[in-house]
Structures are given as structure tokens and as C-alpha cells.
């Protein structure tokens, strides 16, 4: 009954929307309801491809076979027989006149070409450039309309009129795919079925009989008389991509061809390529066993492939630079010839990023590594490496062109405050000085000023302004500042090592308080060949000073259930720590459309020096609050594409922070606590207001839950699942489920906040909702609406809250609106 009432409430709200904007609502309804599956747009005897499926496949995945469909059915809304994209396309098509657009393009070109001609005759080069840019911009828009259709056509998709030829091509593709996977005896057929009241929908079933797969039994190499290559191949046999006793797969043949090419190119065979590699496959009589012969053909007119040894390495540091016709100077360092007009870079540092050496065999890997590591220095506009084989010698030439010494960058935008979810303008500016002292270091001065509309902590009904300002000065060195020799430094050069030092000042001005923080840090960063990225900060020192508004200070004094933590957080404080962050992005998480993952490990130790008696004595005499703590966290994210323009994204975030020692007094620095709730967390709860555990503050006046104060925790557990789909053009949609909470190690003055293995699963808050994302390519603006499903703050047995959803009440179980920049994870 409650669920029925919920549906009725939604219906009533929808009626209000119709009455307020009837025309728009009716237009949307017509588009969706009239489209159905698109059969109304068919002509004559045409049929609609409604559905297609592969049956009988047991060893080959359905997803792989579905990718072979030559023709695809139209996308449907939530698997219902509704194809709104077809309706968009057809409506756009009725208003599309290709001939008229082509005429308009010709007229546009003629008009601007006359203007360009007159400006050229009058010797007005600026106007020529202006007219040319306008012509390019306007003609580009028209060309896009001519080639791709108008906006509605681009948003939609053409009707999937059934094509017999496409079905037969799909059948052949599935057959060839099975053969490429070793199923040489597979048979593929198809079956058609008419559906729908008017029998205008066609369902295609592809019927597969897989047969027995063929197995690779033996792999052997044939290099003729070239024993050097043969020995290299045999030595790397453990890396062979053709797995013995596995099913034959043409993809493995391609992978083996690539492996051999790279192997030989890394061992001096500069001129070798994959065209010299050939495979012969033999089948044993009356069996399904195969022998694969890998043949390395010799080059034309030569008995052997040549191994190239580097005779000379020339490094030109200032390509595209000129100094009055002067010749470049030559400086030799560690057997490398450096050419330059001006000696700008310390050769000892550059040498640590060069891995191709005279006397060594040519290596493709070392070439790419040199190119990549030189580019990582952020000193050069481009890095090119070319090899010269003229005159019987093999010479490596490294060419770099320097970036501008000074670089200023500005950024103006609107920031959505993570804590309060309200937007405000900000301005970032950065001045970068490259190579200020000749050691390829980078000196950077950066600043930020931001204004946020925030909710007053003491009174959530008031919205005020907060100001944030930061100024930082950093100096980054392209190596580890440690006492070790040049040989080790060159080996470390493979890791893109950096040493970072910095000082900064930040200032926050809120109605409740002002807070200033002097910061100094020193640390290292590096990454290995597997692209694990390490960031180790040896020392991060903060000196914090706060000034409280008298009203806010009085509120802290009276709020005994929370005041202990918050009041100590605003004492003059000295916070020092060391931390290590290890991250890995698998398959370019967040950048591509493929299956990808991301993981980050974080560990931090604070107040380490206080374990030394001499330092502890100094701290005892100081008026500053000191802290000792340990903190660890793991953040894992997974991105899984499925269907057409759809993805599933998962996130799990687990962490714990614990104070220790007499200086901490059982309290963490406020910034080191975990918080749950908000646009990048559990979206059904207000930012940083969820938990801890089943604890909730009660407003003594109203008896309602009191969400005025942030709720820090020492333990966090969060998980989210989000289904994302492109709706139309730049508009994406999402549905999501969030779950999680924060807890403390002990209850203190907050009943129910303590983490317990016996009951923590009963205190995991659950929220769900939907969202719209507007993708401007350079910026993704996100709007999420979330509802509480399971609220651990309520008494057991009353925590499921779906029957209390109310579209008109946002206080407890109404919709929570979250505004964000970018994806939540």
C-alpha cells in the first residue's frame, strides 16, 4: 500500500509539471509514445530488425560474437519497445534539406572569397586572416550538417530496416571468427522469425554448432642458418605467445609476430620488421593436434639480418633556435656529443635520462625510454630520436626543442564546494620558471582565490560567503637529492625520479572563524616500468592558527557531544607527518572506453618526531597542540563498458585513522578524519553529515535529526555502483546505488558510533538515485538526485525508508540534490 501511495505521489507531481509546462510535456510524450519501435516509419514491404541473438555457443563468449553483427537493431529505452532515438532522427530528417545546405555552403564560400580577394588587393593581411577564420568556422559547421545531418539527426539514429545481405555477412563473419579461434569444423546458420501485431519486426537467431577445437601441440622455430636469431628465440621461449596444449587462436599468432619483432629490435636488429615472420600450421593425421612452425625469412640479397651497433650519439638541445648564424658548440660528456648555441642544461642531469650509448646494440625499448624520460622533464616542446645509417656507420641523433622558460597559466571557473554542494567562482594563477639554476629544475609560484556560498554551521537556514586563498612556492628537481653515485642516478633515471620542496600559506575566512596555515614539505616521487606511481612525502609540516567568532566559540563550548573534537581542531596546532601514496591506472582508467581499473594505497604517520624524548620535551613546553596518528586507506575503482554507449562503474573506499600517544589525547587533526555524505560520497546524505555508525544528533527543540554539524569518523567504508549511458548528444544519464558509513574506534560521547564486527553491517547506510551529466568536452557538469533507502540513524526495524520518500520534503527523506564537476569516481 505504501508503495502505491508513493506512485500516486509521483503521478500527482507529474500532473503539476504538465499543467505548468503543457506544451513541452506533450511534445516529449509525442516523441516517446509515437516512436514505439519505429515500425510506423517503414515503407512498403520493409521490415524492422528488432532483435538478434547467437545460440549454441558454449566456448566463445556471446559478447565477442555480438560485436560481429553487421547490422544493429535500434536502441530501445530501458529494454521497452520504445526507440526515441529513431523518432529524433525522423523528425530531424523531415526538416533536413541537403541540397539547400550545399547551396548555402557555396554561397558562403563565394561571399567570403570576394571579401578575402578585396582585402588582399587592399593589402589588409589582418582582414584576410579574419575572413579566412570566419569562413573556416562557418563552413565547418555547414559541412558537419551536410555529412552528419542536423542536430536531431545526430542525436538520433536511422531506422534499422532489415537487410538480408547484412545477415548473410554476419553469418560469414561468425564462421570466420570461429575458424580464427581453432574451430575449423564449426557450422553457422541463421533463422528468421516475424514478430509484432503487423508482423513487421524480424528476430534473427544465429545457430552455431561449434564442433571440436584444434589444439596447438608443438611450436618450433626455423631461422635457416641464422644461429644468432635462433638462440635469441630459444632463450625467450618462456615468453612465446603461442601456448602449447591450448586452443589455436589467430590472435596469438599476431601477438607472437609482434613479440618477435620487438625482441629482435631490442637486440640490434634495427631494419627487421614483422613481414619477415611467417607461420606454417600442420595438422596431425586423424587428430585435432597442430604443430606451428615459426619461420624467420632472410632479407633479400643478404644471407643474414644485420645487427646494428651504435657508433655515435649526438644530442642537439636547442632545435629551432638560431643565434645570428653562429655554429653550435660541441661538448662531450660520458661519450655523448652535446650540440647547442648556449649551454643551458647541466649535462650531468641530462645524461641520467639518456639510455642509448655508443658501443651498445640498437634497442627499440631504450629508444622509447630515452624519448619518454626526456619528455618527462617538462623542458622540451618535442623530443625526436632518429638513426642515420649513411656511410656504413650507425649514428643516433637526439633532437629536442626547448619550451618557453617562463609560462603563465590562468584558470577562472565555478567550483562546486565538496562540503556544502554550492557553487562559487574561483581564480587560479601559476607562474612556472623552467631551469632557473641550470639543473633542469622547475620553480613554480601558484595562487588561488575562491569564493563559496556556504551554509552557516551554526544555522543551516542561512547562506553566507566563505573566502579561500592559497599561495605556494615549489621547487622540483629531476632526480633524487640523495648522496649516491652517478651510475645509480642513471639507473634511477628509468623511474622518472623527482624531488619536491615547497612552502605555502593558506587562509580561510568564514563567518564562524578565520584559519591560517603555514606549510612546508619535502618529498620524492617516481614510477616504475609497470607504471605504478609512488609519492613519498618525507616531511609535511603545518602550523595552524584559528580565530573563532564568539557565537561559534560558545556553540562549541555547549556542544559537549561533539565539542571535544571540534574545539581541539581550532587550537593553535603543529601538525607534522610523512606519507606514501601508491597508485596504478590499469588500461588508462577514465581516459578510454575500454575496461579499466584504478587503485590507490595511502599510508600516513603523523607526529613521528614526538617519539624522540628531546623533541617531546620541547613540545611539552610549547603552547601548540600536537598530534600523533596513523592513517591508511585503499581506493579501488573499476570501469566496465557494456552494450551501446553504456558503462558500469564501481568504487570501494576503505580507510582507518587512529591517534596514539599522550600528545594526541585520543584526537586526530580535524583534516585527518574521514567524512561520509555528499556529491562524491553517499549522495543521499548531506555533505559530511552521515554517521558515525548509528549515532545521530537530535534537535532538542523540534525532536528531529540535527544535521547542523559535520560528523567525523576514524574508520570509513564506502561502495558505489553507477550505470552510465549516453542519452543524446552531450547529455548522459546515470542511475546509482551508494552504501557506506564512518565509525570511531570507541564510542566516546556518541552512542552507536563505535565500530563493531558484530553489527557494522547493520549500520551501512544505503542511498539510490539518478543523475544527468552535461558533457561540454572540456567540462562535465553533474546533477544527481538521491534518496535514502536505509538509514542506520533510526531504530532497528525502522531503518528502511522507501515508504517515507516525499518529493516535496528535502529535510530527511525527500530528494537530495548534488551538483558536481566531473564524475563522482
CB 448 within 8 Å of CB 507 = no
Q: Work out the mean pLDDT of the chain and round it to a whole number.
A: 86
The torsion angles phi and psi of 655, rounded to 5 degrees, stand at -160, 160
Averaged over 647-670, what is the pLDDT?
90
CATH of domain 312-402: 3.10.20.310
**Measured CA angle at 46 (ends 43, 48), to 5 deg:** 110
So where are the chain's domains? 97-148, 215-296, 312-402, 413-509+518-548
Q: Which region among 39-43, 201-205, 359-363, 540-544 has the lowest average model confidence (pLDDT)?
A: 39-43
Residue 7 has pLDDT above 80, yes or no: no
Band of residue 671 on the pLDDT scale cut at 50, 70, 90 = confident
Cell 567562482 sits at which residue? 425
Instruction: Name 719's bridge partners.
Output: 652, 739
Decide: 637 and 597 in contact? Cβ < 8 Å: yes
Task: Confirm whether 215-296 and 312-402 share one CATH topology.
Answer: yes
Q: What's the confidence (pLDDT) of residue 85?
A: 83
Q: Indicate if the pLDDT at residue 825 is higher than 60.
A: yes
62-71 tens-digit pLDDT: 989 998 999 9
683: cell is: 549522495
Q: What is the mean pLDDT of residues 439-459?
A: 80
Which CATH architecture fits 215-296? Answer: Roll (3.10)
Q: Does 610 score more than 60 pLDDT?
A: yes
Give the closest residue to 433 by CA, choosing from 468, 404, 462. 404
Query: Tell me: the pLDDT tens digits for 52-85?
Result: 999 999 999 998 999 899 999 988 766 566 778 8
Query: Within 13 A of 772's CA, how many CA atoms are on the CB side?
Result: 7
* Burial grade of 62 (CB within 10 A; 0-12, 13-18, 19 or more): exposed
Banded pLDDT at 748 (limits 50, 70, 90): confident
Report residue 5's pLDDT band, with 50, 70 and 90 as the boundaries.
very low
> Is residue 354 predicted with pLDDT exceeding 80?
yes
- Res 112 pLDDT > 70: yes
pLDDT digits over 760-788, tens only? 999 999 999 999 988 877 778 888 999 99
Where does the pLDDT of residue 17 fall: very low under 50, low under 70, confident under 90, or very high at 90 and above? very low
User: Is the confidence at residue 204, as pLDDT, over 80?
Assistant: yes
Decide if 539 contacts 605 (C-beta within 8 A).
Answer: no
Residue 9 has pLDDT above 50, yes or no: no
Rg (CA), the chain: 34
- Residue 207 pLDDT > 50, yes or no? yes
What cell numbers appear for 763 in the block? Answer: 549500520
Dump pLDDT digits (tens) for 644-656: 678 899 999 999 9
> Of 249-258, 261-270, 484-493, which gets the smallest average pLDDT?
484-493
Q: What is the 3-state secondary structure (H, E, C) of 356-406?
A: CCCCCECCHHHHHHHHHHHHCCCCEEEEEEEEECHHHCCEEEEEEEECCCE
Provide the grid cell at 183. 574451430
The residue among 196 and 599 whose pLDDT is bigger is: 599
- Among 115-124, 275-284, 549-558, the range scoring the smallest mean pLDDT is 549-558
Lowest mean pLDDT among 6-10, 224-228, 558-562, 700-704: 6-10
Residues 215-223 have a mean pLDDT of 93
Q: Do residues 411 and 427 make contact, with C-beta atoms less than 8 angstroms apart? A: yes
How confident is the model at residue 18, as a pLDDT?
Answer: 38
746 vs 171, residue with greater confidence: 171
Would you say 789 and 801 are in contact if contact means Cβ atoms under 8 Å apart? yes
- How high is the pLDDT of residue 505? 96
| pLDDT for res 580 | 96
Element (H, E) at 22: helix 22-35
> Residue 473 above 50 pLDDT?
yes
The DSSP bridge partners found for residue 547 are 514
At residue 37, the pLDDT reads 63
Amino acid at each position: 500500500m505504501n508503495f502505491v501511495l508513493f506512485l500516486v505521489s509521483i503521478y500527482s507531481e507529474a500532473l503539476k509539471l504538465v499543467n505548468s509546462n503543457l506544451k513541452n510535456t506533450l511534445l516529449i510524450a509525442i516523441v516517446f509514445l509515437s516512436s514505439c519501435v519505429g515500425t510506423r516509419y517503414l515503407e512498403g514491404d520493409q521490415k524492422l530488425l528488432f532483435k538478434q541473438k547467437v545460440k549454441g555457443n558454449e566456448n566463445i563468449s556471446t559478447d565477442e560474437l555480438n560485436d560481429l553483427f553487421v547490422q544493429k537493431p535500434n536502441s530501445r529505452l530501458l529494454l521497452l519497445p520504445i526507440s526515441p532515438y529513431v523518432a529524433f532522427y525522423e523528425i530531424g530528417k523531415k526538416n533536413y534539406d541537403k541540397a539547400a545546405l550545399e547551396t548555402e555552403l557555396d554561397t558562403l564560400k563565394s561571399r567570403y572569397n570576394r571579401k578575402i580577394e578585396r582585402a588582399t588587393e587592399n593589402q589588409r593581411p589582418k582582414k584576410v586572416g579574419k575572413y579566412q577564420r570566419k569562413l573556416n568556422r562557418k563552413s565547418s559547421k555547414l559541412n558537419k550538417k551536410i555529412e552528419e545531418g542536423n542536430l536531431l539527426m545526430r542525436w538520433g539514429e536511422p531506422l534499422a530496416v532489415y537487410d538480408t545481405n547484412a545477415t548473410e555477412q554476419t553469418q560469414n563473419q561468425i564462421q570466420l571468427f570461429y575458424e580464427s579461434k581453432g574451430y575449423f569444423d564449426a557450422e553457422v546458420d541463421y533463422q528468421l522469425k516475424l514478430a509484432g501485431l503487423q508482423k513487421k519486426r524480424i528476430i534473427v537467431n544465429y545457430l552455431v554448432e561449434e564442433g571440436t577445437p584444434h589444439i596447438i601441440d608443438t611450436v618450433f622455430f626455423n631461422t635457416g642458418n641464422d644461429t644468432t636469431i635462433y638462440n635469441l628465440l630459444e632463450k625467450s621461449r618462456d615468453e612465446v605467445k603461442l601456448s602449447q596444449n591450448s586452443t589455436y587462436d589467430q590472435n596469438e599468432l599476431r601477438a607472437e609476430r609482434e613479440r618477435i619483432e620487438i625482441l629482435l629490435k631490442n637486440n640490434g636488429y634495427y631494419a627487421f620488421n614483422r613481414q619477415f615472420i611467417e607461420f606454417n600450421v600442420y595438422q596431425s593425421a586423424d587428430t585435432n593436434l597442430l604443430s606451428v612452425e615459426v619461420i624467420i625469412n632472410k632479407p633479400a640479397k643478404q644471407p643474414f639480418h644485420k645487427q646494428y651497433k651504435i657508433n655515435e650519439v649526438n644530442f642537439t638541445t636547442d632545435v629551432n633556435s638560431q643565434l645570428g648564424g653562429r655554429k653550435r658548440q660541441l661538448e662531450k660528456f660520458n661519450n655523448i656529443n652535446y650540440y647547442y648555441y648556449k649551454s643551458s642544461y647541466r649535462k650531468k642531469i641530462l645524461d641520467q635520462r639518456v639510455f642509448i650509448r655508443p658501443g651498445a646494440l640498437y634497442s627499440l625499448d631504450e629508444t622509447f625510454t630515452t624519448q619518454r624520460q626526456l619528455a618527462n622533464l617538462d623542458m622540451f616542446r618535442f623530443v625526436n630520436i632518429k638513426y642515420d645509417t649513411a656511410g656504413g656507420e650507425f649514428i643516433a641523433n637526439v633532437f629536442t626543442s626547448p619550451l618557453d622558460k617562463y609560462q603563465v597559466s590562468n584558470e577562472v571557473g565555478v567550483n562546486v564546494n565538496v562540503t556544502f554542494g554550492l557553487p562559487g567562482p574561483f581564480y587560479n594563477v601559476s607562474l612556472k620558471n623552467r631551469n632557473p639554476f641550470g639543473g633542469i629544475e622547475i620553480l613554480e609560484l601558484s595562487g588561488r582565490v575562491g569564493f563559496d556560498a556556504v551554509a552557516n554551521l551554526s544555522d543551516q537556514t542561512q547562506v553566507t560567503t566563505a573566502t579561500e586563498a592559497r599561495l605556494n612556492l615549489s621547487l622540483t628537481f629531476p632526480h633524487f637529492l640523495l648522496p649516491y653515485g652517478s651510475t645509480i642516478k642513471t639507473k634511477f633515471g628509468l623511474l622518472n625520479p623527482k624531488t619536491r620542496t615547497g612552502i605555502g600559506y593558506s587562509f580561510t575566512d568564514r563567518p564562524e572563524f578565520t584559519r591560517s596555515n603555514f606549510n612546508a614539505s619535502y618529498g620524492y616521487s617516481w614510477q616504475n616500468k609497470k607504471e605504478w606511481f609512488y609519492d613519498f612525502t618525507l616531511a609535511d609540516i603545518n602550523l595552524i592558527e584559528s580565530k573563532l567568532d564568539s557565537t561559534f566559540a560558545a556553540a562549541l563550548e555547549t556542544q559537549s557531544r561533539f565539542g571535544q573534537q571540534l574545539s581541539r581542531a581550532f587550537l593553535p596546532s603543529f601538525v607534522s607527518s610523512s606519507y606514501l601514496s601508491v597508485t596504478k591506472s590499469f588500461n588508462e582508467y577514465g581516459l578510454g572506453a575500454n575496461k579499466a581499473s584504478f587503485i590507490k594505497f595511502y599510508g600516513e604517520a603523523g607526529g613521528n618526531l614526538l617519539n624522540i624524548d628531546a623533541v617531546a620535551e620541547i613540545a611539552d613546553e610549547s603552547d601548540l597542540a600536537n598530534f600523533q596518528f596513523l592513517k591508511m586507506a585503499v581506493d579501488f575503482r573499476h570501469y566496465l563498458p557494456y552494450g551501446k554507449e553504456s558503462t558500469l562503474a564501481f568504487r570501494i573506499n576503505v580507510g582507518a585513522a587512529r591517534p596514539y600517544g599522550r600528545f594526541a589525547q585520543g584526537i586526530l587533526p580535524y583534516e585527518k578524519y574521514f567524512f561520509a555524505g555528499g556529491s562524491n560520497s553517499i549522495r543521499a546524505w548531506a555533505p559530511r553529515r552521515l554517521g558515525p555508525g548509528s549515532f545521530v544528533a537530535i534537535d532538542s527543540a523540534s525532536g528531529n535529526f540535527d544535521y547542523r554539524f559535520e560528523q567525523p569518523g576514524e574508520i570509513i567504508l564506502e561502495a558505489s555502483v553507477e550505470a552510465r549511458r549516453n542519452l543524446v548528444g552531450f547529455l548522459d544519464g546515470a542511475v546509482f546505488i551508494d552504501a557506506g558509513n564512518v565509525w570511531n574506534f570507541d564510542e566516546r560521547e556518541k552512542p552507536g558510533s563505535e565500530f563493531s564486527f558484530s553489527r557494522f553491517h547493520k549500520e551501512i547506510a544505503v542511498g539510490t538515485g539518478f543523475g544527468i551529466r552535461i558533457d561540454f568536452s572540456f567540462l562535465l557538469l553533474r546533477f544527481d538526485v538521491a534518496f535514502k533507502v536505509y538509514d542506520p540513524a533510526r531504530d532497528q526495524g525502522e531503518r528502511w525508508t522507501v515508504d517515507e520518500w516525499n518529493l516535496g520534503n528535502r529535510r530527511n527523506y525527500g530528494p537530495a540534490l548534488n551538483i558536481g564537476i566531473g564524475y563522482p569516481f
